Amino acid sequence: HGISVKEILIILKELKEEDFKEFKWHLNHPSPEDHRSIPRSDLENKDRMDTVDLMEQYYGKDSVQVAVEVLKEIQRNDLAEKLSKMNFYTTGKLLKSGRKTSDVYNKDTTDYSC
């Protein structure tokens, strides 16, 4: 498993059971052109670890991006943002929903203290 899969698991553990159920529903009922559907039979009775494994099988390296999109769909922008940041710190890549890379690197980090 890649590091990004572990990040998704960390985030899913923060979801209440009802939110997690809705997260899985969106994996089965994606918005048009978002991502392909994971069959309900595959998602049924799956815990968070199993769900992350399924996401890795279906979406591969796009798993984090899909997770961010679904978190936004279920009104958990806080967790979507957190996952985007975690992914950036481990991969150096920003997701589509994140800020432009230049915004991150152009910050003045000079230490003016004596």
- Phi, psi angles (nearest 5°) of residue 58: -80, -35
Position 38 scores a pLDDT of 95
pTM assigned to the model: 0.75
Domains of the chain by start residue, with CATH? 3-105 (1.10.533.10)
Q: Averaging pLDDT over each range in 44-53, 57-66, 88-97, 104-113, which range is the top one?
A: 44-53
| pLDDT higher than 60, residue 69 | yes
Q: Read out DSSP for 76-106?
A: -HHHHHHHHHHHHHHHS---TTS--HHHHHT
